Structure 1
């Protein structure tokens, strides 16, 4: 998918998400942003919470990796151990 074209108003020149989209359009742009960010995770790799935050911080500029991590998890794009000690890309979506 060409996220750059779909998300052009939400991405800066470096491909970083500038703002969290509002819920209008039934959250379409929120879903696209989350899919874009999920695509940055390698399949089969397990990440610590700190590594997830570092990766997310590379791809957004509004300083809220916790929001993005939570949304990725709640939307089934990443999974995690119950205690939050390990995260990985959910390849079933």
Structure 2
């Protein structure tokens, strides 16, 4: 599994406005890969780099954004935004504020 590196694009803000409600919840999971990556990068921001999370906590955090937290967890892993081992997860990619 490779780490997801993220280069912000000019239309990312519009994508985020389109897929996230005013309450911060994800309205729908994008089917277009590029838009899904924008959303996954945003979700990855909920996890602190260097911190290890048990699966239960990952589910709780992602559940704040969308009811299908299992799909979000799987997409974050498959796209390299998170890594996992032995039921523990950590952030492995995405943009980082400096």
For each residue in 1:17-74, what CA deviation from the matched residue of structure 2 results, as whole angstroms up to 9, or x when unmatched?
1111122xxx1110001000001101111101110010001122xx111110001001
Residue 18 (structure 1) aligned to one of 5, 27, 33: 27
Q: TM-score, normalised by structure 2?
A: 0.77
Superposition misfits of 4+ residues, deviation over 4 angstroms: 1-4
Q: Which runs of 5+ in 2 are unaligned?
A: 1-7
Residue 38, structure 1, aligned to residue 44, structure 2: yes
Residue 70, structure 1, aligned to residue 86, structure 2: no
Taking the aligned partners of 2:20 and 2:62, their CA distance within structure 1 comes to 14
Aligned CA distance change for structure 1 residues 20 and 48 (closer, same or farther; 3 Å): same
Cα pair 2:44 2:94 within 8 Å, conserved: no
The SS at the match of 1:72 is: helix
What is the RMSD of the two structures over their aligned residues, measured on CA atoms? 2.1
Q: Which runs of 5+ in 1 are unaligned?
A: none
Q: TM-score, normalised by structure 1?
A: 0.81
Quick one: higher RCO (CA 8 Å, sep 6+), 1 or 2?
A: 2
